[in-house]
Structure formats: C-alpha cells, structure tokens
Amino acid sequence: MIPLRQNIAEMAGYVPGFQPADAASYIKLNTNENPYPPAPSVLAAIAAEAGEGLRRYPDAASRLAREEAGRLYGFDPSWVIMANGSDEVLNNLIRAFAGEGEEVAYVHPSYSYYGTLTNIQGARVRTFGLTDDFQIAGLPERYQGKLFFLTNPNAPLGFTYSQSFIASLAERIDGMLVVDEAYADFADENSLELVKSHENVVVTRTFSKSYSLAGMRLGLAIARPQVIDALNKIRDHYNLDRLAQAAAAAALKDQEYFRSCVARIRETRERFTAELLRLGFQVIPSSGNYVFATPPGGDGAALYEALYQRRILVRHFTDPLLRHGVRISIGTAEEMAKTVETIAQIVA
Ligand SMILES: *Cc1c(COP(=O)(O)O)cnc(C)c1O
C-alpha cells in the first residue's frame, strides 16, 4: 500500500487537450493555440539568450519581463508576478488563499483545472452553473468562500461578463476574485481597472494564446503588492528560465506584431461564425480565439469524429452541458476556409 494523501489517491488527474504526435498532418483547432508563429523579435531574443549564459541561474524576480508588463498595462512592477504558464499562478493563488477544507468556487462550464488544483490543495470545490442567458446561477448575496475564479471571456463558450457585473461580483465576495483573462486579448474589454479599484481582484493572463507562446510556458498575474508578495513566497524561486524571461519581455515589447495577429484572428473568427450560422449551426458570439458551435441535430461527438476522419482536430467535451457542440479554435483564414468547406460536406 503506497501511503498517498487521500485526496490525491481519489482524484482524477486533469486531462489536457489531445496533442497528436503528427500534429503537422492535421488542421489543429483543439487547444486554442495561435496559428501564427511567435514574433520574429521574440525568436531573436530567445536565440540571443541561448548561449553560454545558460550556466547561470536566471533572475529570480523576472525583473525585465515585469517592467515590460507594468509599462504595457499601466502598473508598477510591484503589482506584477510572472508565472511558468498562467496555470502556475492559478495554483499558487489557491495555495495562498484556500487552506484545507476551505472553499474555492468557479463557474461550470469554464476551466475545470481550477477544480483539479483545488483538490490537490485539499480545499473544497463549489461550482455555480449558468442560466440560459449566461448569468451565474444561484449566486448568494454574499459569497463567503476564499476564492472565486471567473473565466472572462468564458472558455469554452466564448461569451463575456460585463465589467459592471464583475465589479459587483468582487463586492459580493469575502475572498478573492480571480479574473482569468486567458483570452482577454481577443475581447473588447478587460478587468485591469478593477485591480486598481477593488483590492480583492486579481487578473491572470497567459502568453499561450494571444502571444503564440504555448510552448514557452509563460503567464502573469496583476494584483495588489500584498498579494504579489504572498505569491512570491510560494512560487519556485527560479520559476521562469532565462529563455522564458527573454521571450516574455520581447513579446510584451513587440505590440505591433501582436496586434496584427490578434486583429487577423478576430476577423477570421467573425467570418467563420457567419459561415457556420449560414450552415444552420448555433454559434455563441465569441470574444476568444475559438467558437462553441452546435451542429444541426446537436450531435457534437459525431461532428468531432467526422472532422477527425478528415484530419481536422477540434475539441469535444463529454460533459452533458457541452456534448451537443464542439469548440473550434480559430486558425488562419485558409485553415478556417478549409474547415467550413469540410463541415459543409459533412452536414450535407
Ligand atoms: C489556456 C488557459 C490557461 C492556461 O494557460 P497557460 O499559460 O498555458 O498555463 C488558463 N486558463 C484558461 C481559461 C485557459 O484557457
């Protein structure tokens, strides 16, 4: 008998999106990666760092990347922490705020990894559902749990909550409100101002989607310095390696390349949505780099399978709330044109 902690023995591990070994032979639209390469300036910064200096430890404070982030978002660097993927900082927020048996909440459906991280900590998961018009169902007048994770834009559905709602939510929560803005770069609004106005609001970002750097594992959080100081106590001291720090600083600096990629993805998203609607799909208007689409007949699994046979990889969730549709990441205009053509053949 291996003497595991009971919560670890009993939990199911998180299952990440499928990463096929021969990814290049698919149109890969299943994990919301960016179809465009990282900025040339980012690749040059990584190459410049990949030398004899790697024998030295990196800067434990990720100072240059934090300064770039602070400049870009309008915060002193003391309000910024860099993370080895935003998943790292989500984990450390739970470790900082929710003790064993204490409560962590999130909306279902959203990013179920919050639940996995909460179970590892030995804290308790509470989920809130959604009404038909995407309001949070059953929210108490005061929420007394330690943390509330709000994915905005929602993943996998793509809708957004208004900033006035998020402000009122922060005011109803005794604990911390973490606004997971993994996809906010593709949306019209974000909650950075709420970090200034509400001391219990934390915003998290990732470089995996909008900055084309899923392979580098980079994220960040913005919060009051007292929160950042606590997170700094918890994280691995060298959480970002030298290549990641160089990539992060260069990516945040090169806003021109970034903006052009985001603009193209938003444009392609709107065109793809219109074409699916024309084919009789139901499509939730999306503020992310993906759409949640329900085919005529509502059999998401069959559509997933038919696309997979034709080497187009999308995401199907078996959850009863999601199995009627599929989540399709937005690729290049060419990839999405091919996808529409293939879907038209499938539904014909
Ligand atoms: C992709 C994603 C993350 C994880 O981002 P990483 O920086 O790759 O760890 C976190 N939250 C949501 C909602 C995501 O979709």
pLDDT value for 17: 84
Query: pLDDT per position in the chain (348 positions), as tens?
Result: 899 999 999 998 998 888 889 988 999 999 999 999 999 999 999 999 999 999 999 999 999 999 999 999 999 999 999 999 999 999 999 999 999 999 999 999 999 999 999 999 999 999 999 999 999 999 999 999 999 999 999 999 999 999 999 999 999 999 999 999 999 999 999 999 999 999 999 999 999 999 999 999 999 999 999 999 999 999 999 999 999 999 999 999 999 999 999 999 999 999 999 999 999 999 999 999 999 999 999 999 999 999 999 999 999 999 999 999 999 999 999 999 999 999 999 998
Asked if 304 contacts 318 with a C-beta cutoff of 8 angstroms, the reply is no
Backbone φ and ψ for 330, nearest 5 degrees, come out as: -90, 115
Short-list 87, 72, 265, CA closest to 187 = 265
Q: What is the pTM of this model?
A: 0.97
Mutational test site, ligand 1, from 81, 116, 206, 329, max ligand atoms within 8 Å of CB: 206
H helices of 139-289, where? 163-172, 192-197, 225-234, 242-253, 255-278
Ligand 1: residue whose CA is nearest its atom 2: 182
Which residues make up the CATH 3.40.640.10 domain(s) of the chain?
A: 40-255
The architecture in CATH of the region 40-255 reads 3-Layer(aba) Sandwich (3.40)
Which residues make up the CATH 3.90.1150.10 domain(s) of the chain?
A: 6-30+259-347
What three-state secondary structure class fits 128? strand
Whole-angstrom CA distances from 322 to 64, 110, 301, 302 are 41, 11, 10, 13
pLDDT value for 72: 98
pLDDT value for 319: 95
Ligand 1: residue whose CA is nearest its atom 15: 182
Question: Quick check: CB of 111 below 6 Å from ligand 1?
Answer: yes
Short-list 301, 311, 310, 295, CA closest to 348 = 295
CATH number, domain 6-30+259-347, options 3.90.1150.10, 3.40.50.300, 3.40.50.720, 3.30.70.1170: 3.90.1150.10
Indicate which atom in ligand 1 lies nearest the CA of residue 31. 1
Query: How far apart, in whole angstroms, are the C-alpha atoms of residue 301 and residue 309?
Result: 12
Query: How far apart, in whole angstroms, are the C-alpha atoms of residue 242 and residue 329?
Result: 30
